[in-house]
Structure 1
Amino acid sequence: MRLKFLLRPGWLGLIALVAVFTTLCFTLLAPWQFSRSDEAQARNNAISESFHTPPRPLGEVLPAGRAPDERTEWAQVLLRGQYLPEGETLGWQRTVLGEPAFEVLTPFRLTDGTTVLVNRGFIRPVNGTQAPAYDAPPSGEVTLTARVRTDENDSKQRPLFEHDGHRWAYAVNSGTISQGTGIALQPGYFALNEGQPGVLGALPLPRLESGPYFSYALQWIAFGIMAVIAIGYLIYSELRPGARPAWRDAEAGSEEGAKSEPQPRRKKMSVAEAIAEDERREREEAERREAADAEPSSKT
């Protein structure tokens, strides 16, 4: 049976490795990158569409306190109510425009009695981890234009904490802030647009680009195909009539070299010794030529 060699431990291990790697490429790694590409494209479409759609009342976009999702995120909404500064919380260790920042999160009670979380924008830290003085939100009833955002997730589920006279959150999550402040908040949060009452540094929108995810997905597919082709070629090399794979020749050569007697290493000569050796050879060569020239004359 010509394929019997595939039952050797080395071949079985190689086949198993290629099978696992190829399966991961096709079922996990490539689909993961495709999904990230789809998410980026959906985000870009939602942001682009929001520029051409006028802001709508919150109840039309998220009726009955429904949580935001990929279909409603980035939509512009109108909020009518008043700020609740007693529940204000700062977002810890954020990055805005490539630099450290804090985000100011303030509950906002709507005219219908429900309360949402408004992201008033960012401020730059001072002395490393201290919040600077910043403007308080306006009092009284105001109308805001903001973008819908989904809650962030903190994998460690860390609660709010106190630092430097402020309340802090590790993630912008309405549930966590609701628990820490005792104020019932609707799911999600709302990022203020530029020029709105109470806005600080308005958060910039993400760049409308799909990123490298699609090309990464194609690369993982290519890697999986290349692995299958590579092991197929190795098997073909074993099965060719009269063919001996190069890797076997190299292996055999190394074994023969190991078994053969080691050759004595030639002594390295100095420059003077090398010159003397050349002169000796020249003299011997000249003597042989003289002897060869002398033989015909002696015969005559």
Structure 2
Amino acid sequence: MKIRLIPTLLILIVVAVTVRLGFWQRDRAHQKEALHAHITQFGNAPAQTIGAARIALKDIEFHRVRAVGQFMPQQVVYLDNRPYNDQPGFYVVMPFKLRDGGYVLVNRGWLPRNMNERTAIEPYDTPKGEIEVEGIARADASRAYELGKGGSAAHQTIRQNLDVASYATETGLPLQPFVIQQISDDGDKLVRDWPAPTTGVERNYGYMFQWWGMAVAAIVFGLYAARRSAKNAKLTQGKGREGGPGNGQAPHA
């Protein structure tokens, strides 16, 4: 069977690329599985105390932490479009002044929206004086889809998202580069039934099988095309022999 060079090379390239992409998705899935294991491990470990010393996000994210200090309700931010059990509401994010100096943002919990007036804030309590807060260190207070800057403009109480570094610049507070997702209860009437962190590992495995399926399809198509080409070539050769000299007919003068 005669192999045609260019089609064969194209098929080999497709197979090589799709197989490599499948392995890449598999590696991403393994990385996310390792991250999920770390999240579980960190969440069950003893809480680390947060003080004035700055802690890099990479060294604290997903760890259980505790902080002693007091809330700053005058600089609260409400993150909009945060539903809970299909009910619209806000996340209440508030700066927390640490006893030893420095500040950290705390996502205190979920608050239902006033259904009669969209921007009205339902009542909730804020502990006065020094308290202890315990929670999980997160990169942000959750992110929602936002067109342009949306509600993140400076000096707005209700926003769509809140970037820690931008808020630190806006307020002048030397914030830690993470947010504490509060899990301790201080009787404030806020809901802290936090969604579990999702890694999307199933999606990576799905992509892996899709890429490898494309590789198999390319191989099958290549074999089919090669066989069909060989069959056509054989038929052409057979017809040539039937119509040429030596087939029992005298050649024309």
Q: Same fold (TM over 0.5)?
A: yes
SS of corresponding position for 1:144: strand
- Contact 1:88–1:167 under 8 Å retained in 2: yes
Worse-matched range after superposition: 88-97 or 100-109: 88-97
Name which of 28, 47, 53 aligns with 1:55: 47
Q: CA separation of 1:22/1:167 partners in 2, compared to 1, >3 Å: closer, same or farther?
A: farther
Tell me how far 1:98 sits from its aligned partner: 4.8
Q: CA separation of 1:102/1:22 partners in 2, compared to 1, >3 Å: closer, same or farther?
A: farther
Q: Which has the higher helix share?
A: 1
Residues 142-170 of structure 1, C-alpha deviations (whole Å, 9 max, x = no match): 1111111013678877263489xx61332
Residues 212-240 of structure 1, C-alpha deviations (whole Å, 9 max, x = no match): 23531233222223223322331233124
- Contact 2:114–2:122 under 8 Å retained in 1: no
Query: What stretches of structure 2 of length at least 5 have no aligned partner?
Result: 236-253
Aligned to 1:119: 107
Q: CA separation of 1:122/1:183 partners in 2, compared to 1, >3 Å: closer, same or farther?
A: same
Aligned to 2:251: none
Worse-matched range after superposition: 195-204 or 103-112: 195-204
Q: Structure 2-normalised TM-score?
A: 0.72
1:122 and 1:179 map into 2 onto residues whose CA distance is: 25
Q: CA separation of 1:87/1:26 partners in 2, compared to 1, >3 Å: closer, same or farther?
A: farther
Tell me how far 1:3 sits from its aligned partner: 4.4
Aligned to 2:211: 220
- Contact 2:152–2:161 under 8 Å retained in 1: no
SS of corresponding position for 2:209: helix
- Is 1:67–2:56 an aligned residue pair? yes
1:162 and 1:209 map into 2 onto residues whose CA distance is: 31
- Is 1:88–2:76 an aligned residue pair? yes
- Contact 1:30–1:218 under 8 Å retained in 2: no
Aligned to 1:234: 225
Worse-matched range after superposition: 46-55 or 108-117: 46-55
- Contact 2:111–2:122 under 8 Å retained in 1: no
Aligned to 1:160: 152
- Contact 1:91–1:172 under 8 Å retained in 2: yes
What amino acid does structure 2 have at the position aligned with 1:31?
W
- Is 1:35–2:28 an aligned residue pair? yes
Name which of 101, 114, 128 aligns with 1:139: 128
2:188 and 2:170 map into 1 onto residues whose CA distance is: 22
Residues 105-157 of structure 1, C-alpha deviations (whole Å, 9 max, x = no match): 00001112111100001112233843432324212111111111013678877
- Percent identity, aligned pairs only, is 20
SS of corresponding position for 1:229: helix
Q: CA RMSD for the aligned pairs? A: 3.6
Residues 57-84 of structure 1, C-alpha deviations (whole Å, 9 max, x = no match): 125xxx9422323x63222111011111
2:76 and 2:102 map into 1 onto residues whose CA distance is: 16
Q: CA separation of 1:103/1:187 partners in 2, compared to 1, >3 Å: closer, same or farther?
A: same
Worse-matched range after superposition: 117-126 or 171-180: 171-180
- Contact 1:33–1:213 under 8 Å retained in 2: no
Worse-matched range after superposition: 178-187 or 136-145: 178-187
Q: Name which one, 1 or 2, has greater alpha-carbon Rg.
A: 1
